[in-house]
Chain A
Amino acid sequence: GAVVSQHPSWVICKSGTSVKIECRSLDFQATTMFWYRQFPKQSLMLMATSNEGSKATYEQGVEKDKFLINHASLTLSTLTVTSAHPEDSSFYICSATPGWGGNTEAFFGQGTRLTVV
């Protein structure tokens, strides 16, 4: 199956700093990627749709100036959490769907656990 890889797997940062999370599709190209966040014991909540070469589309209630998304190539999307605060501590997960023809499911990265102290 397809592989979506995130880096880093975990990160600890100080309050007020910015953190960048990378999401790569390793064996396919993805014009669209999705970013989710998951709080402990909760479900995955879609944050935004990352579009290659254009602006991301944010879900209602997600601050676009706080969660900057850049999809500069067909295999890489980045999520930057700016001026992070403890309430931003969460598990961030990206996904992408390969265009191999026909229906196929989305593939998810292994997630990035962000802890803001």
Chain B
Amino acid sequence: AQSVSQHNHHVILSEAASLELGCNYSYGGTVNLFWYVQYPGQHLQLLLKYFSGDPLVKGIKGFEAEFIKSKFSFNLRKPSVQWSDTAEYFCAVNAGTSYDKVIFGPGTSLSVIP
């Protein structure tokens, strides 16, 4: 069965600090990978996605992620965080086709201190 783990439960950063959130998945076949963000009181928003091709994917709001197949990882990065990035971040995967179920990681809560 697929599973997704995220390295950090809660991350606290100062504004302008760099961010890297770890994500690992367990599935041996083809996967599609996603990072979602959930701002306080709001619903999910897609940050970026990887289906195939260039393993370095750029998303919205200055976020990027790198797919490293050999490490089963899809870490999220941002060079300089802002207070408005305070939110819950979820790594997610679906195996096979994009029509299959999406499995979410436990989430990482990011708090950015002004």
Contact = CB atoms under 8 A, between A and B. Distances in A.
A103 B98 contact: yes
B90 A111 contact: no
Contacts of B46: 105
A32 interface: yes
B22 interface: no
Given A93-B43, A105-B49, A106-B94, A43 B104 contact: yes
A108 B104 contact: no
B105 A95 contact: no
Interface residues of B, number: 21
A106 B106 contact: no
What DSSP secondary structure best describes chain A's contact surface? loop
Interface string A34-46: 1010000111111
- For the complex of A and B, 10 pairs with smallest distance between CB atoms: A103-B51, A44-B104, A43-B107, A103-B98, A110-B43, A43-B104, A43-B106, A108-B44, A97-B99, A111-B43
Interface of B: 32, 34, 43-44, 46, 49, 51-52, 90, 94, 97-99, 101-107, 109
